[in-house]
Structure 1
């Protein structure tokens, strides 16, 4: 995002409240709520800090107002979607997604900084958006059960918010068209019937406790960080949750940040190892993509907390650690996009990466949403949606032996 040009101090604007909100919307994304001071915001607008308080009681109210202003047009649009014209509906959704590109990241990363009343008020709006979109899906696909409509609606939201989590861009018309195409692909997916007796994604803590105290502490930390946020969890709380005296944790983990860094590195390493294994066994690019998709869905549904931490708490790492994790995520996307372009040679490089981000967003966001994870979002359904977005052929059983290498 280009740097903002502060207004000259002392100048007055009849739209100062709007200027404050516009500046805050940018600054809540970078550097983020926790690192943004009221003085920084005042400087961006070109006023003294005390002038902010003529319009807002504090930073929390500014955040709540920015989020409410972002959610309002989405709430209105989703309620007005016309099932008789799905192409126009997809186009309008895509245009608004790009207009509000910052909103997905801001909501997921920063909303928990609000007080309970403000958060619940906005959460109600988000739930109404989800319900309205689910009703729209049901009008288009009346044969689907409610859980299926909810899943496709959640997947559309994931597609629409996915540009919030990367910086790739296309000419506006091409970007809108690509997102609309992805929405259409979600809506056209034939969902497999849930298998009777199929295992459900795990929820809560593990049923078994590791023999290693170090591993148990890490598992507790991941669960608590994802539920409450890294900054809100004390290292001695983690020790108590594992049943040991607070100071004893330092025998296993020198600092709280070491727990966070290890969790994120493990997630990155798991994905990287899956990619290496999938390359070795895949028979062609389409088979490799399908294996990547299956691996990602399995990891996301097994450990949704890791994917939450990548969104909410990455900024607690130091610069080198953050760059390490960001680089691993970037390289993971590049591997998918490489295979997608081998499978579909005509696809543009940037468009391939945007499409991959949308698929990964569906996988992680449906896993992080409890009612989707335990509804129709069994792995096969998510794989079917992702495969449709990637233009893969119908599902196949993985080959029993390694195929030829992919280069």
Structure 2
């Protein structure tokens, strides 16, 4: 390369690379992204990209480290850190998905370091609360990350106002007087059906290790089933994932139908639906983990079908709200629904929170507070 060529290199190239990588990882999923695709997005060759970063892993770590560093600076110096963090996550909508879905692809040492920093950030967001500060602070983090899970197009100021109200709701809403403690399953009993046993083990392994790191032989070994016998039930690992996601999705739809059947009004149905979703997430955290993180690994056609089913399910929440409040703009309602579901999903995936007294009732109360239209100004 000539001296003139070096001089023509944009000064912000590294920042542009990181922005492109963040967007690619968010939209396509870490394992579906190549260095060549990121380079093409920036208008450079792959060899030039490797001069900046050794590979995707370093890129992902640098993206997450940079975003978290910016959020730490905001939390430390802004007079209204939650409002400022909301502005940041709206400008960097990939944050939630990168943290919840893609950080698992990093080495454990790096994940642990990022997790420690995010835990410190979260702790300061509801520090003034003395009842369940951990639950409330992580609920705020879930609200911050919720825009990452949808593409609702809404004016920034209005979007931010709704999220501020959602964050305020989870920070201040009164919680029910419930001290019951969730007892984690201890039984080693499994279904007699080998297919069901394989499916149950697969969900746990996918949640613990991530889909790409689990093989059919791993699933068979964990279920106590010889490798070749696994193929009598699932031809490919993708078939296992399709079955696992389908099972979780159908359980959610059954809960919706139950809420509609047992309610006399739309408001009652929504209340029952929130309760069912919170119960489901509490009792099936591994299923929720897989629903949140592993959809990008589905075959293309299956992925499209599943995402459509997810959108349809969320649309039912929106429809219930609109039956009581038809004047509410649909995009604003979708933002609140996504935030409420993100709160339940996010909390269910943190084991030490699930062990806190009153967890299930408190989580449902936080989600209901986010959905309460009276809190949206």
Fold in common (TM above 0.5): yes
Q: 2:114 — aligned with what?
A: 122
In 2, are the aligned partners of 1:151 and 1:377 still within 8 Å (CA)? no
- Structure 1 residue 234 corresponds to structure 2 residue 223: no
In 1, are the aligned partners of 2:348 and 2:354 still within 8 Å (CA)? yes
Q: 1:340 — aligned with what?
A: 321
Q: Distance in 1 between matches of 2:174 and 2:78?
A: 22
Structure 1 residue 71 displacement after superposition: 0.8
Superimposed CA distance per residue, residues 260-288 of structure 1 (whole angstroms, 9 cap, x where no aligned partner): 11111111111111111211110111100
Q: 1:405 — aligned with what?
A: none
Structure 1 residue 194 displacement after superposition: 3.0
Q: 1:276 — aligned with what?
A: 257
Residues 125 and 155 of structure 1, relative CA distance in 2, 3 Å threshold: same
Q: 2:364 — aligned with what?
A: 383
In 2, are the aligned partners of 1:359 and 1:389 still within 8 Å (CA)? yes
Q: 2:281 — aligned with what?
A: 300
Q: For 2:87, which of 66, 80, 95 is the aligned residue?
A: 95
Structure 1 residue 345 displacement after superposition: 3.0
Q: For 1:285, which of 258, 266, 277 is the aligned residue?
A: 266
SS at match of 1:53: helix
Structure 1 residue 169 displacement after superposition: 2.2
Q: For 1:200, which of 182, 189, 192 is the aligned residue?
A: 182
Q: Distance in 2 between matches of 1:35 and 1:335?
A: 31
Q: 1:179 — aligned with what?
A: 163
- Structure 1 residue 151 corresponds to structure 2 residue 132: no
SS at match of 1:193: coil
Q: Distance in 1 between matches of 2:145 and 2:37?
A: 27
Structure 1 residue 207 displacement after superposition: 4.2
Aligned residues: 370
Residues 29 and 206 of structure 1, relative CA distance in 2, 3 Å threshold: farther
Consecutive aligned runs of 4 or more in structure 1 exceeding 6 Å deviation: none
Structure 1 residue 211 displacement after superposition: 1.7
Gaps of 5+ in 1: 1-7, 83-87, 394-407
Alignment of 1:72-111 (within 5 A): 72-80=69-77, 82=79, 88-111=80-103
- Structure 1 residue 48 corresponds to structure 2 residue 45: yes
Structure 1 residue 311 displacement after superposition: 2.5
In 2, are the aligned partners of 1:93 and 1:180 still within 8 Å (CA)? no
- Report which structure shows greater RCO (CA 8 Å, sep ≥6): 2
In 1, are the aligned partners of 2:143 and 2:342 still within 8 Å (CA)? yes
Superimposed CA distance per residue, residues 196-238 of structure 1 (whole angstroms, 9 cap, x where no aligned partner): xx351535x7542212121111100110011001111111111
Gaps of 5+ in 2: none
Superimposed CA distance per residue, residues 166-214 of structure 1 (whole angstroms, 9 cap, x where no aligned partner): 111211111111111111111221112333xx351535x7542212121
Superimposed CA distance per residue, residues 75-111 of structure 1 (whole angstroms, 9 cap, x where no aligned partner): 22223465xxxxx444323212212211110122211
